[in-house]
């Protein structure tokens, strides 16, 4: 039992953590504690002496030890004596936004209810969610607010969402709603967040929290390349393997905000939820509004454990369907191989080469429909360009299937080109403000997913294509952010709902298509990794991580991505050199190493490779398939911070601590430097491991030129030594500076 309701004390317990709230003497819901388990009521820590002349509750006016100005709240609301950032703000019928929420009831639930129209954490194969609702009400305003909690005991994760019900006979307007809000009493924290841009997503940044408000957000109606809805509060001494840290993840793919405030008495408040900019939602009498869900986890033992908790909760409780657990196909994608320049025969040749290399799936990327020979045209006109393919798509797919290969197709459903029949026929379906010129990006406009007619049209269209063509895979792209946010089907006073309604429309389409085609693997994509979030992972169990396939830069992007998102969800490929994004030439082996912590595949034309390179790729695919169970099901450890170090290093350890794979690479050769050591993690200190320097073995003198000139080097070390002293890996004088070690326990 992980939910304890004792009179005025409400505790959520996971294997290693405690989350505690209480109903105070005035009926307000206070947040008492989140962190390591304790064995008592933590209310003795609350110090709420009135320190300023600020308004206090009318009934508490003679109690100078009670002030909303500094109390820790479970759901801080706007107004009512709390001047910090608020998790909920509602404009009441009379125009004020002063909410007075008191506890109405606390309801344990025997199962978790689905969140209507939104992704949510659900019962998993290994564990069920325990759930509880806390119902708050502003009696006078006739508004009810339900805090929905679910607890994943084994995974050390707590989920929370907020629902507002308007019992008032007049309409109200929600202005802010944050499913995650955490109040901490005087505590020093660093904030870790992941900023970026196109081809440079999820860059790690760590900074001490100072007084004032820090805002990490996206107002682009997509989770975005620029920031990710994922925040960590870490004790300044926390590192990968030790120290307290709190992870917070929003399961939402639209505009979000993560706000952190350090207040007048050094308390810290963290909010993560929907971006209040450009958002408000009118709730008519008796209507409800459901916020997205937030996931929280606490680790006493640093970031590795925190990441494992999020990896597990996403794998077991967020992702659905067979691909959440099963092996994934190794694919070859046509984009960097051919861009828009292909025909049916060249695609069949690509398929033949793909098969010969040993990959499982050929993906035909952009350019197969309408007159799409460049990116100026045809989005929305999803008729196969048979002139270009020289055959119907069904025939092409049939021939690929006959080769023993699966076939996948690229689509970008939420977009329309200005130059398209769809836009000419339905200009009102695009998000364009009447009488204004549209904002154009990559010559495309965004369809109004807030319009159910558009969503239904897209569903009919794409379900037919998938069905008729017998597709095995879909790459769902999204190359520009919706802007302006305007829907022709909503009145002026509801345009501020478009951003959220857009996301709901996309989720609706994704839900219907993924439900109807459970055997089709859907991969998310947004100009690379611009919509890499837990909301999308509910529908698409893998997401293309970035358009940047440069092995060095990619390891940094994947480093940031790995803090929250499971390795099995990370779309990652080997591409040709010179790299199309950086022009850098990195060895095939290092490109393979960089693409390994993910779903793996190729983004190149094998016909342009040397015979020896094709042979190496065949070996890479065999090797990756052998390793995939360890990569997907093992625990992942970051062994270096590539933003501070000149090397990337990471490893996987299987659940029994019998097998491990260490991988990494140096970004530059340092002259006359005798190599360096990497300290391993996650092994059993009491086991002995045989370490094999795999792929390209190393000797104490450096790198062997040819794999078969010598058997791979092997040595035996104790787990304890490997996790304390580490192991030496060499730098090499050529550009092939990657290393791989495979470990097998001898016990």
* Residue 601 contacts ligand DGJ per CB under 6 A: no
Please, what is the minimum distance in Å from the beta carbon of residue 544 to ligand DGJ?
6
Between CA 555 and CA 737 the distance in angstroms is 13
Looking at residues 478 to 507 of the shown chain, list those that interact with ligand DGJ (rule: CB under 6 A). Answer: 479
Q: Which residue in the shown chain puts its C-beta closest to ligand DGJ?
A: 366
Our answer to whether residue 533 is catalytic in this structure is: yes
The residue (of 525 and 662) whose beta carbon lies closer to ligand DGJ is 525
Please, what is the minimum distance in Å from the beta carbon of residue 531 to ligand DGJ?
11
In Å, how far from its chain's centre is CA 628?
21
Contact at 8 Å (CB) between 476 and 524? yes
Beta bridge partners of 197: 200
Instruction: At 590, give phi and psi (nearest 5°).
Output: -70, -35
**Tokens (6 digits) for 304:** 């590795």
Work out whether strand 574-575 and strand 601-603 pair parallel, antiparallel, or are unpaired: parallel
* Residue 544 contacts ligand DGJ per CB under 6 A: yes
Q: Is 244 helix (H, G, I), strand (E, B) or coil?
A: coil
Please, what is the minimum distance in Å from the beta carbon of residue 527 to ligand DGJ?
5
The residue (of 544 and 637) whose beta carbon lies closer to ligand DGJ is 544
| Per-residue interface string for the shown chain with ligand DGJ, residues 80-109, x marking contact by CB under 6 A | ------------------------------
Please, what is the minimum distance in Å from the beta carbon of residue 337 to ligand DGJ?
11
Rg (CA), the chain: 27
Please, what is the minimum distance in Å from the beta carbon of residue 198 to ligand DGJ?
9
Beta bridge partners of 411: 476
Q: Is 197 helix (H, G, I), strand (E, B) or coil?
A: strand
The residue (of 254 and 408) whose beta carbon lies closer to ligand DGJ is 408
The residue (of 378 and 587) whose beta carbon lies closer to ligand DGJ is 378
Please, what is the minimum distance in Å from the beta carbon of residue 573 to ligand DGJ?
9
The residue (of 261 and 477) whose beta carbon lies closer to ligand DGJ is 477
Contacts of 25 (CB under 8 A, 6+ apart): none
* Residue 414 contacts ligand DGJ per CB under 6 A: no
Query: Exactly one of 154, 386, 613, 744 is catalytic; which is it?
Result: 613
**Helix axes of 393-402 and 344-357: crossing angle, nearest 10 degrees:** 20
The residue (of 335 and 462) whose beta carbon lies closer to ligand DGJ is 335
* Residue 138 contacts ligand DGJ per CB under 6 A: no
Which residue in the set 525, 577, 621, 683 belongs to the binding site for ligand DGJ (CB under 6 A)? 525
The residue (of 138 and 201) whose beta carbon lies closer to ligand DGJ is 201
* Residue 527 contacts ligand DGJ per CB under 6 A: yes
* Residue 730 contacts ligand DGJ per CB under 6 A: no
Stretch that binds ligand DGJ, among 100-108, 346-354, 524-532, 636-644 (CB under 6 A): 524-532
Count of residues near ligand DGJ by CB under 6 A: 11
Stretch that binds ligand DGJ, among 216-224, 258-266, 454-462, 525-533 (CB under 6 A): 525-533
Stretch that binds ligand DGJ, among 64-72, 397-405, 505-513, 520-528 (CB under 6 A): 520-528
Contact at 8 Å (CB) between 403 and 468? no
Query: Exactly one of 100, 353, 360, 533 is catalytic; which is it?
Result: 533
Between CA 294 and CA 620 the distance in angstroms is 38
Please, what is the minimum distance in Å from the beta carbon of residue 280 to ligand DGJ?
32
Please, what is the minimum distance in Å from the beta carbon of residue 410 to ligand DGJ?
5
Contact at 8 Å (CB) between 745 and 684? yes
Between CA 390 and CA 394 the distance in angstroms is 12
The residue (of 151 and 570) whose beta carbon lies closer to ligand DGJ is 570
Please, what is the minimum distance in Å from the beta carbon of residue 367 to ligand DGJ?
8
Which residue in the set 477, 523, 533, 548 belongs to the binding site for ligand DGJ (CB under 6 A)? 477
Which residue in the set 24, 130, 261, 365 belongs to the binding site for ligand DGJ (CB under 6 A)? 365
The residue (of 258 and 413) whose beta carbon lies closer to ligand DGJ is 413
Give the torsion through C-alpha atoms of 513, 518, 520, 523, to 10 deg: 70
Choose among 682, 686, 632, 675: nearest CA to 660.
682
The residue (of 330 and 525) whose beta carbon lies closer to ligand DGJ is 525
Q: Is 578 helix (H, G, I), strand (E, B) or coil?
A: coil
Please, what is the minimum distance in Å from the beta carbon of residue 75 to ligand DGJ?
38
Between CA 697 and CA 730 the distance in angstroms is 11
Please, what is the minimum distance in Å from the beta carbon of residue 462 to ligand DGJ?
16
- H or E element: which one contains 498? helix 498-516
| Per-residue interface string for the shown chain with ligand DGJ, residues 294-333, x marking contact by CB under 6 A | ----------------------------------------
Stretch that binds ligand DGJ, among 72-80, 270-278, 523-531, 696-704 (CB under 6 A): 523-531
Q: Is 39 exposed, middle or buried (0-12, 13-18, 19+ CB in 10 A)?
A: exposed
Which residue in the set 73, 149, 246, 335 belongs to the binding site for ligand DGJ (CB under 6 A)? 335
* Residue 366 contacts ligand DGJ per CB under 6 A: yes
The residue (of 479 and 542) whose beta carbon lies closer to ligand DGJ is 479
Beta bridge partners of 444: 417, 441
CA separation (Å) from 221 to 7, 319, 376?
Answer: 42, 22, 23
Please, what is the minimum distance in Å from the beta carbon of residue 372 to ligand DGJ?
9
Q: Could you identify the residue written with the tokens 């009179």?
A: 7
First to last CA, the chain: 37
Contact at 8 Å (CB) between 180 and 274? no
CA separation (Å) from 633 to 19, 501, 513, 621?
Answer: 29, 36, 27, 18
**Tokens (6 digits) for 73:** 């709240």
Q: Is 213 helix (H, G, I), strand (E, B) or coil?
A: strand
Please, what is the minimum distance in Å from the beta carbon of residue 393 to ligand DGJ?
17
Contact at 8 Å (CB) between 348 and 396? yes
Q: Could you identify the residue written with the tokens 């009919």?
A: 460
* Residue 678 contacts ligand DGJ per CB under 6 A: no
Q: Is 504 helix (H, G, I), strand (E, B) or coil?
A: helix
Q: Could you identify the residue written with the tokens 């794999």?
A: 707
Between CA 734 and CA 745 the distance in angstroms is 32
Stretch that binds ligand DGJ, among 174-182, 233-241, 521-529, 588-596 (CB under 6 A): 521-529
For the chain, the residue count is 747
Between CA 273 and CA 279 the distance in angstroms is 12
Looking at residues 685 to 714 of the shown chain, list those that interact with ligand DGJ (rule: CB under 6 A). Answer: none
The residue (of 601 and 719) whose beta carbon lies closer to ligand DGJ is 601
Work out whether strand 361-364 and strand 406-411 pair parallel, antiparallel, or are unpaired: parallel
The residue (of 180 and 471) whose beta carbon lies closer to ligand DGJ is 471
Which residue in the set 292, 380, 438, 528 belongs to the binding site for ligand DGJ (CB under 6 A)? 528
Contact at 8 Å (CB) between 465 and 381? no
Which residue in the set 472, 547, 548, 616 belongs to the binding site for ligand DGJ (CB under 6 A)? 547
* Residue 598 contacts ligand DGJ per CB under 6 A: no
* Residue 410 contacts ligand DGJ per CB under 6 A: yes
Contact at 8 Å (CB) between 678 and 662? yes
**Tokens (6 digits) for 79:** 């107004």
Interface with ligand DGJ by CB under 6 A: which residues? 335, 365-366, 410, 477, 479, 525, 527-528, 544, 547
Q: Which residues are catalytic?
A: 533, 613
């Amino acid at each position: 039992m992980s939910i304890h309701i004792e009179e005025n004390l409400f505790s959520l317990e996971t294997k290693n953590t405690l989350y505690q709230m209480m109903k105070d003497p005035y009926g307000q819901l206070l947040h008492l504690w989140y962190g390591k388990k304790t064995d008592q009521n933590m209310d003795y820590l609350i110090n709420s002496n009135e320190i300023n002349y600020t308004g206090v509750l009318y009934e508490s006016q003679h109690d100078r030890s009670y002030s909303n100005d500094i109390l820790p709240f479970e759901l801080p609301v706007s107004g009512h004596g709390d001047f910090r950032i608020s998790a909920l703000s509602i404009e009441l019928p009379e125009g004020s936004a002063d909410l007075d929420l008191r506890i109405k009831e606390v309801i344990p639930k025997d199962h978790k209810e689905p969140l209507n129209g939104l992704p949510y954490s659900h019962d998993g194969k290994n564990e069920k969610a325990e759930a509880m609702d806390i119902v708050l009400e502003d009696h006078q305003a006739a508004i009810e607010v339900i805090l929905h909690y679910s607890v994943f005991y084994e995974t050390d994760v707590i989920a929370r969402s907020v629902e507002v019900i308007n019992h008032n006979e007049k309409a109200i307007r929600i202005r802010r709603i944050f499913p995650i809000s955490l109040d901490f009493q005087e505590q020093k924290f660093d904030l870790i967040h992941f900023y970026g841009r196109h081809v440079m997503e999820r860059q790690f940044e760590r900074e001490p929290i100072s007084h004032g408000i820090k805002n990490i957000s996206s107002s682009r109606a997509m989770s975005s390349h620029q920031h990710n809805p994922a925040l960590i509060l870490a004790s300044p001494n926390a590192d990968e393997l030790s120290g307290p840290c709190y992870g917070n993840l929003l399961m939402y793919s639209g505009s979000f905000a993560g706000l952190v405030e350090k207040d007048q008495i050094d308390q810290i408040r963290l909010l993560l939820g929907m971006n209040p900019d450009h958002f408000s939602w009118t709730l008519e009498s008796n209507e409800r509004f459901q916020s997205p869900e937030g996931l929280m986890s606490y680790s006493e033992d640093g970031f590795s454990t925190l990441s494992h908790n999020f990896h597990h909760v996403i794998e077991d409780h967020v992702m659905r369907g067979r691909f959440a657990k099963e092996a994934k196909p190794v694919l070859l994608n046509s984009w960097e191989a051919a861009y828009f320049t292909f025909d049916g025969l060249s695609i069949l040749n690509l398929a033949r080469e793909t098969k010969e290399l040993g990959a499982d799936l050929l993906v035909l990327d952009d350019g197969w429909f309408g007159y799409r020979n460049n990116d100026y045209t045809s989005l929305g006109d999803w008729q196969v360009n048979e002139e270009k393919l020289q055959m119907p798509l069904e025939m092409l797919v049939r021939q690929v299937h006959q080769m023993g290969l699966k076939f996948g197709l690229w689509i970008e459903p939420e977009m329309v080109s200005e130059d398209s029949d769809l836009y000419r026929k339905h200009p009102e379906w695009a998000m364009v403000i009447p009488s204004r010129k549209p904002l154009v990006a990559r010559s495309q406009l965004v369809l109004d997913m807030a319009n159910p007619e558009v969503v239904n049209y897209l569903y009919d269209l794409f379900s037919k294509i998938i069905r008729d063509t017998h597709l095995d895979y879909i790459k769902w792209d999204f190359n520009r952010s919706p802007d302006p946010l305007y829907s022709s089907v909503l009145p002026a006073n509801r345009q501020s709902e478009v951003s959220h309604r857009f996301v709901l429309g996309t989720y609706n389409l994704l839900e219907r298509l993924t439900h109807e085609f459970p055997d089709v693997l859907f991969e998310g994509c947004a100009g690379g990794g611009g919509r890499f979030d837990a909301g999308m992972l509910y529908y698409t169990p893998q997401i293309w991580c970035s358009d940047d396939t440069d092995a060095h830069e990619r390891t940094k992007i994947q480093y940031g991505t790995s803090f929250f998102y499971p390795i099995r969800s990370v779309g990652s490929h080997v591409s040709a050199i010179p790299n199309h994004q950086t022009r850098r030439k990195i060895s095939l082996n290092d490109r393979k190493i960089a693409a390994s912590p993910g779903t793996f595949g190729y983004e190149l034309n094998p016909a342009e490779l040397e015979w020896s390179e094709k042979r190496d790729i065949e070996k890479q695919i065999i090797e990756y398939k052998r390793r995939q169970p360890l990569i997907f099901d093992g625990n992942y450890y970051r062994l270096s911070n590539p933003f501070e170090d000149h090397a990337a290093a990471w490893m996987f350890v299987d659940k029994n601590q019998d097998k491990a794979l260490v991988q990494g690479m140096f970004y530059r050769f340092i002259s006359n430097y005798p190599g360096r050591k990497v300290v391993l993690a996650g092994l059993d200190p009491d086991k002995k491991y045989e370490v094999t320097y795999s792929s390209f073995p190393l000797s104490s003198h450096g790198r062997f030129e040819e794999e078969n000139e010598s058997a791979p080097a092997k040595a035996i070390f104790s787990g304890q030594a490997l996790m304390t002293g580490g192991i030496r890996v060499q730098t090499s004088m050529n550009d092939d500076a990657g290393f791989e070690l495979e470990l097998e326990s001898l016990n």
